[in-house]
Amino acid sequence: MQLYEIILIGLGLSMDCFAIALSFGTTHTFKWRDTLKMAFFFGLFQGVMPLLGWLLGDWIRQYFESIDHWIAFSILAVIGIRMIVESFRKESDKKKFDIHSTSVLITLSVATSIDALMTGIGLGFLKVNLLFTVSIIALITFLVTITGVRLGDKTTFLPARWAERTGGIVLIVIGLRILIQHLL
């Protein structure tokens, strides 16, 4: 597998992370530390999941392939719906959805990396330097996430309430895209 192909795979796998980072960047204040934390978790999971997929191979496919899309959809839809509902509450009544929370980041990281797990199974059938490939995927996701948060932070054309709704819709759409791709 050529380097450009690995880069394209990394970019493709990181687009969900980019969309989430962009959405949250428009609605939350991120310090560099927070941005790096999000990028770290997204990059780590996008790198580790293909490795796990490769290691677990057919066993994972056998047990999870039939429901992986439902898992990703459910997680993203619940978070997206919660964001939309929260956007309609008065500021004083809102329970803050803490994107800075490690447990929230891990949940989002798992939801966005299920495709990477399946990609890892496919990598098992190809001649690739697996550690190099997953390192490139993780690095690309790390950089793409930072870019998404920073671009979202610079986006001032959406009021926070609408940005939060848009972010919720984006998460639901990503979940639906994953679901539809696997059902068709």
pLDDT digits (tens, 9 = 90+) for 81-121: 877 887 787 655 545 567 778 888 998 899 888 878 878 87
d(CA 123, CA 171): 27
d(CA 113, CA 51): 11
Q: What is the pLDDT of residue 101?
A: 83
Task: Find the mean pLDDT for residues 157-175.
Answer: 69
Task: Find the mean pLDDT for residues 36-65.
Answer: 85
Residue 85 to residues 41, 49, 81, Cα–Cα distance (Å): 26, 31, 6
d(CA 121, CA 131): 14
Q: What is the pLDDT of residue 91?
A: 53
pTM of the entire structure? 0.71
Task: Find the mean pLDDT for residues 41-53.
Answer: 94
Residue 44 or residue 21, greater confidence: 44
Report for 83-92, 145-154, 166-175: range of highest mean pLDDT:
145-154
% of the chain exceeding 90 in pLDDT: 20
Cα atoms found within 13 Å of the Cα of residue 109, Cβ hemisphere only: 25
| Banded model confidence at residue 48, pLDDT cuts 50, 70, 90 | very high
Count CB neighbours of 107 within 10 A.
Answer: 16
Residue at token pair 């800075």:
100
What's the token pair of residue 128? 């690739």
| Banded model confidence at residue 164, pLDDT cuts 50, 70, 90 | low
Instruction: Give the per-residue SS3 of 74-126.
Output: HHHHHHHHHHHHHHHCCHHHCCCCCCCCHHHHHHHHHHHHHHHHHHHHHHCCC
